[in-house]
Chains A and B, each alone.
Chain A
Amino acid sequence: MKLEDIARELGLTELTPEVTGNRQAEIERGYASDLLSDVLAHAPEGSVLVTLQVHLNVIAVASHAELAAVIFAGDRRPDDDMRAKAIAEGISLLVSPADTFDIVGRLYAMGVKGNHA
């Protein structure tokens, strides 16, 4: 499932239209967590992260764990600093008004799986 298809199906708002390279990225795995150490330890490379955390460290973690995109749940929006950092690191940021549970459920139904599926 391509990232742009996920964004369309889930009605996500793209916050980093400057990052164009990821739109065609095939997203096969996902991870949901608000613990960044947990993300570092377990999020699969190239996956999409669903989280409530909205601050600069999320970008550092996403970069170190080599994630493709981050979806912020509950309509939480990053500031311009964070957006700029994400663009520099080539990480797509998206936002949804839905909560984590609903976002993950719909991702799963679309075929995006976790580590153990």
Chain B
Amino acid sequence: MEHLAYDIQSGDFGGAGAASRDLKQHLKRIGAESGAVRRAMIAAYEAEMNVVIHTEGGRLEATVSDGQLDVDVVDRGPGIPDVPQAMREGFSTASSEARALGFGAGMGLPNIERNSDRLRVTSAVGDGTRVSFSIGLRPEAADQGARPSSLGIAAELCRDCRHCLAACPTAAVRVREAQPSVLHHLCVDCTCCIAACDPGALTLLDAPDGLAPGADGVLAVPPALLAGFGDHAVDTVLEELRGLGFAEVVSVHPYEDQLRRSVLDLAAAAALPTPIISPVCPAVVSLIELKFPSLVPHLAPLASPWEALQRDFGERDVTYVVSCPSQRTALLAQQPTAQRRTVTPRLVRAAVLPRLAARRRVAQGTPAPQPQAAGADDLLVVTGVSHVLAVLEQIEDGRLTGVASVEPFICDGGCFGSPLLGEDAYVAAWRWAAAAGAAPGEARSYERARPYRPRPGIRLDPDMAVAIRKLAELDAETKALPGKDCGVCGAPTCAALAEDIVMGRAVRALCPYITPQEGSAS
């Protein structure tokens, strides 16, 4: 249970709204349903205005308990002589000042009644009025399931530089005693911490047996790998990859192209809320499930390119050269045994580079770069985590209009920009575009095997009542910390440390700005 209280001054038209605004932030943090939040705001604001307009001042107290908001607004008079009359729309006793500002039209109490599930008004003339209302908060249902992770940690390589802390878009990384760790319930399997980690302490998990081609083996690769060996032509790279002992080498790019066409078809059919979001990048899908659950209906219900490729080839002995943790996690979710068969681009590059080096260079003319394969006017391609976050926020706020579909990639420059590949995103993309057609392929798109599900990672507890208690503790802890976000404690921000303390993952003494006495005081 959480208790909030705000004083409201008589006649303070400018300050009115502060209590309801603060209440809104609390309701969002405990996972209250968004329609319920809007109703609660309108009711609380009207109650606040009533105190400002009609009374000598008062107090708004809110109690958030299991699935319900109870608000109690008590003022210091003058009281309402006839409550049923005051409840009638249009009846008002407001001052001309209040009326001039557009209040006092006799709509306040009726508005509260319309937006709450229960309203009770009691009043004594000369004494004051109590307005009590309640609103159900219906938490959005979600499970608290554990998920596989594909992020590898080599703690011995950590130099304790903590660049990873600030890089993570979901504040999932901690570094304590030069040991990086990841809070898996917050991790979206992107590449941000990997890109920030120079010594390679954070990386992508490799197959335990390395590259082990079978007799009928298929090697599935991203186009960025094919175009990532300087001026070695794509067909040369394909030939040398087969030379490693694979019967067939397939690229995932036809599946990317096919997915894009299917998303544009869905957009043309207006089958989903606009803009439709392509599931091309599993890390963005995960980010949406974690931080933007209201956008889940925008996601096209299609398999990602790697998942689609796996449906076509999964019966055979496939080795997947994935370019990021999220692709590996998606493959494992569909087929757990793929764990033995996903390898890093680094492993494949190390194997194929000597073979390429041994070839006699054949001089080639520089092919003209071609425009990106399937770009379209009604498709917005967004790459890089900060841009993706900005665009998702715009969609969530309803501000991104006139866009039919969005193709978001966490990595800067799309999959070509994964830090796990050996070539710069722009160079690799240019080489790939120049060689378009050198690696033809057929593909189809598939419906998703597993439905999208909001992830409850940012909720403090699956039990709303416990979450509310923890939220109150979180507020107290956050206030006790200096707000410098220095990272010395090993958490990216003071708010993240406060959450670690509340969740029992850390102690307050980790903060260098808090003296031991203060730390043990409460």
Contacts and interface: CB of A to CB of B under 8 A. Distances in A.
Interface of A: 2, 21-22, 24-26, 33-41, 45-46, 51, 53, 55-58, 60-61, 63-66, 68, 90
Contact of A53 (B17, B45, B101, B402): B101
Nearest to A53: B102
Interface string B122-142: 000000000000000000000
A21 B41 contact: no
Given A24-B399, A25-B398, A64 B20 contact: yes
Interface in B288-340: none
A90 B45 CA distance: 19
A22 B402 CA distance: 12
Contacts of B401: 2, 24-26
A51 B398 CA distance: 23
A45 B401 CA distance: 15
B108 interface: yes
B14 A56 contact: yes
Contacts of B17: 57, 60, 63-64
A41 B394 contact: no
B14 A38 contact: no
Nearest to B108: A37
Nearest to B41: A64
A21 B401 CA distance: 10
A79 B521 CA distance: 47
Interface in B17-69: 17, 20-21, 38, 41-42, 45-46, 49
- Which 7 pairs across A and B sit closest by C-beta, in order of nearness? A60-B17, A37-B107, A26-B401, A36-B102, A35-B105, A21-B399, A53-B102
Given A37-B46, A64-B20, A64-B42, A56 B13 contact: yes
A53 to B, nearest CB: 5
Contacts of B114: 41
Interface string B104-117: 01011011001000
A61 B42 CA distance: 8
A67 B41 CA distance: 14
Contacts of B399: 21-22, 24-25, 90
Nearest to B106: A37
Interface in B242-278: none
A62 to B, nearest CB: 11
A66 B399 CA distance: 12
A56 B49 CA distance: 13
A53 B103 CA distance: 11
B16 interface: yes
Contacts of A33: 102
A55 B17 CA distance: 13
Contacts of B110: 41
B107 A46 contact: no
Nearest to B20: A64
Contact of B111 (A2, A25, A37, A63): A37
B400 interface: yes
B397 interface: yes
Given A37-B111, A57-B103, A64-B17, 11 more contacts: A2-B402, A25-B401, A26-B401, A35-B103, A36-B102, A37-B46, A40-B107, A41-B107, A41-B114, A55-B101, A64-B42
B111 A40 contact: yes
8 contacts: A35-B107, A45-B38, A56-B13, A57-B13, A57-B16, A58-B102, A61-B45, A64-B45
B267 to A, nearest CB: 16
Interface in B390-438: 394, 397-402
A65 B398 CA distance: 14
A21 B103 contact: no
A39 B111 CA distance: 11
Interface string B162-173: 000000000000
A37 B103 contact: yes
A66 B45 contact: no
B405 to A, nearest CB: 16
Contacts of A60: 16-17, 21, 45
Among B20, B103, B108, max chain A CB count under 10 A is at: B103
A68 B110 CA distance: 25
Given A37-B107, A37-B108, A64-B42, A46 B398 contact: yes
A92 B178 CA distance: 48
Contacts of A57: 13, 16-17, 49, 101-103
A96 to B, nearest CB: 19
Among B38, B102, B400, max chain A CB count under 10 A is at: B102
B179 to A, nearest CB: 40
Contacts of B398: 25, 45-46, 68
B116 to A, nearest CB: 13
Given A21-B399, A46-B398, A40 B42 contact: yes
Contacts of B38: 45, 64, 66
A24 B400 contact: yes
